C-alpha cells in the first residue's frame, strides 16, 4: 500500500535528516548496548587478529570499522575491512582469533 508523503516543513530530503541524525543514533545504540560493546572491546583487545567482513552496505560499514579501529589502535593496527567474496573460506577460520 502506498501512502502520500507527509508535507515537510524543513529540508525537503529525508536523507538530509538521516545524515544529521547519525551522531545521536550512534550514541543511542552505544548506550543501549553498552554491555555488548564492553564485551566486544574485551574480545578484540585480547585478539591476535581481527577481520571485519561484509557485503554490500555492510562492506562499507566494514571499511568504516577498519578506519575507526586504526584510529583507536594506531597506524600499526591492521584490521582489514574485507568484502565477503574475498574472505578466506575455511571451516576453521574464526573471525576473532584469541592471543595465545
- Integer-rounded Cα radius of gyration of the chain: 18
Q: What is the pLDDT of residue 79?
A: 85
Q: What is the pLDDT of residue 28?
A: 95
Q: Give the integer Cα–Cα distance in Å for 30 and 38.
A: 10
CB 89 within 8 A of CB 37: no
Q: What is the pLDDT of residue 23?
A: 93
Mean pLDDT, consecutive 10-residue segments, the chain of 100 residues?
62 86 92 91 84 90 90 82 78 57
All structural domains of the chain with their residue ranges? 14-88
In this prediction the pTM is 0.60
Q: What is the pLDDT of residue 97?
A: 54
Amino acid at each position: 500500500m502506498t501512502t502520500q508523503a507527509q508535507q515537510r516543513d524543513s529540508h525537503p530530503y529525508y536523507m538530509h535528516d538521516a545524515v544529521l541524525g547519525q551522531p545521536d543514533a550512534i550514541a543511542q545504540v552505544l548506550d543501549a548496548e553498552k554491555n555488548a560493546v564492553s564485551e566486544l572491546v574485551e574480545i578484540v583487545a585480547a585478539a591476535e587478529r581481527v577481520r571485519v567482513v561484509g557485503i554490500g552496505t555492510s562492506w562499507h560499514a566494514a571499511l568504516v570499522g577498519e578506519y575507526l579501529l586504526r584510529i583507536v589502535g594506531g597506524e600499526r593496527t591492521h584490521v582489514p575491512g574485507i568484502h565477503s567474496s574475498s574472505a578466506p573460506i575455511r571451516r576453521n577460520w574464526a573471525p576473532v582469533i584469541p592471543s595465545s
